[in-house]
A = this chain, B = another copy of it.
Amino acid sequence: MPKVVDREEQRRRIGAALLRLVAERGLDEVSVRTVAAASGRSPGAVQKYFRTKEDMLTFAAELAGERIEQRMAGVSTALPLREALRALVLTTLPVDAERRAEATVQLAFAVHAAHHPRLAAIRRQVDQEIRQALAAWLASAGHESHATAVADAVIAVSDGLALRMLYAPQEHEQLLTALDRALNALVPGPGSRAEPSLGGTAPDENGS
C-alpha cells in the first residue's frame, strides 16, 4: 500500500511541474526532458511514471480539471446570482500571476485538444460538469428559461475573455467592463442596469 500511495504522489508532483512549465513557457516547450528538469528528476525517472508525453499531458489535464472544480466549489452561492457568476468567471481570468498561470494552462490544453482525442474527452467532461452546475444554479435562481444556453454563453464569454487577457494585459479593465455587460445582458435582474443592486459589491456599470 505505501508504494501505491507514493507512486500516485510522484505522478501528481510531476503533473504539477508540467503545469508550471506550461504556464511559464507554453505547451510547445513540454517534453519528457523539460518536465524532468522542472520536477528535479531524470528523464528515466519521469518515464517510470509516464510512458509518453501524451500520458503526461492527459494526467496534467485531469489535475487542471480538479482545480477548476475546487475553484467553483469555493464561490459562495449565498451571493446574488449575477455576483456569484461574476466571482466564478473571475476565478478563471488571468488577472494575477496565479490565475494567469492557470488560464495559460487551460487554454493551451483546449487548443491542443483539437488534435488530441484524449485531451478533448477530458475537456468535454469538465465543460459538461460546469454547464450542468451553472444551468442548475441559474434555474434555482429563477432563470429556468434557456438555462443551458445561458450557461454555455457564460462559459464562452469566460474563455474568450481569458484568451484575450493572456496577450492583452493592458486591456484588462476594458475587458472586465465587457464581462459585466455580458453578465448584465445574459442574467438580467437585481443589480442590473435597470434596477439598483441589493448588495454593496455589484460590478461597476460605467462601461464605455
Residues in A144-165 with C-beta less than 8 Å from chain B: 146-153, 155-161, 163-164
Q: Which residues of B contact A123 (CB under 8 A)?
A: 167-168
Interface residue? A84 (CB, 8 A): no
Determine the main DSSP class of A at the interface with B: helix
Among the listed B113, B115, B186, which residue makes an inter-chain contact with A181, where contact means beta carbons less than 8 Å apart? Answer: B186
Q: Could you say how many copies of this chain the assembly holds? A: 2
Interface residue? A27 (CB, 8 A): yes
Q: Which residues of B contact A168 (CB under 8 A)?
A: 120, 123-124, 127
Give Cα A78–Cα B180 distance, bound, in whole angstroms. Answer: 30
Among the listed B119, B150, B155, B177, which residue makes an inter-chain contact with A167, where contact means beta carbons less than 8 Å apart? Answer: B119
Q: Which residue of B lies closest to A166 (CB)?
A: B114
Q: Which residues of B contact A28 (CB under 8 A)?
A: 27-28, 112
Give Cα A114–Cα B111 distance, bound, in whole angstroms. Answer: 13
Interface residue? A201 (CB, 8 A): no
Interface residue? A141 (CB, 8 A): no
A101 CB, min distance to chain B CBs, angstroms? 10
Among the listed B152, B178, B179, B185, which residue makes an inter-chain contact with A174, where contact means beta carbons less than 8 Å apart? Answer: B152
Interface residue? A182 (CB, 8 A): yes
Give Cα A113–Cα B104 distance, bound, in whole angstroms. Answer: 10
**Given A159-B164, A164-B159, A166-B113, does the pair A153, B178 have CB atoms closer than 8 Å?**
yes
Give Cα A148–Cα B182 distance, bound, in whole angstroms. Answer: 12
Contact A149 B113 (CB under 8 A): no
Interface residue? A75 (CB, 8 A): no
Residues in A109-141 with C-beta less than 8 Å from chain B: 110-115, 119-120, 123-124, 127
**Given A26-B115, A167-B123, does the pair A207, B148 have CB atoms closer than 8 Å?**
yes
A21 CB, min distance to chain B CBs, angstroms? 12
Interface residue? A90 (CB, 8 A): no
